[in-house]
């Protein structure tokens, strides 16, 4: 895994990430990977909820279309 890229203005973020990783005994890459995975799970749940709501709202139409 490549290191988290350093961009202009990201020094504070990197310092906080390094501090968190050090305090929890993990590598910064692991902290980032876990945060991204948690974000993706949350987005997946949000999108699934919207899709289910739309499917429920249009159930009659979907039935008529044979879906």
* 7-19 pLDDT tens trace: 888 889 999 999 9
* 29-50 pLDDT tens trace: 999 999 999 999 999 999 999 9
Helices (H), 1-67: 11-24, 28-57, 59-65
Query: Taking the model in full, what pTM does it have?
Result: 0.71
**With 80 as the cut, is the pLDDT of residue 4 above it?**
no
Q: Classify residue 26 as left (phi > 0), alpha (psi -120 to 50) or beta.
A: beta
Phi, psi of 7 (to 5 degrees): -120, 160
Residue 62 has a pLDDT of 85
**Which residue in 39, 35, 41, 40 sits closest to 17, CA to CA?**
35
Domain ranges of the chain: 30-67
């Amino acid at each position: 895994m490549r290191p988290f890229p350093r961009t202009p203005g990201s020094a504070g973020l990197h310092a906080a990430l390094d501090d968190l990783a050090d305090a929890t005994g993990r590598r910064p890459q692991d902290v980032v990977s876990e945060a991204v995975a948690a974000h993706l799970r949350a987005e997946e749940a949000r999108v699934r909820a919207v899709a289910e709501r739309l499917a429920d709202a249009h159930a009659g139409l979907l039935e008529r279309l044979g879906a």
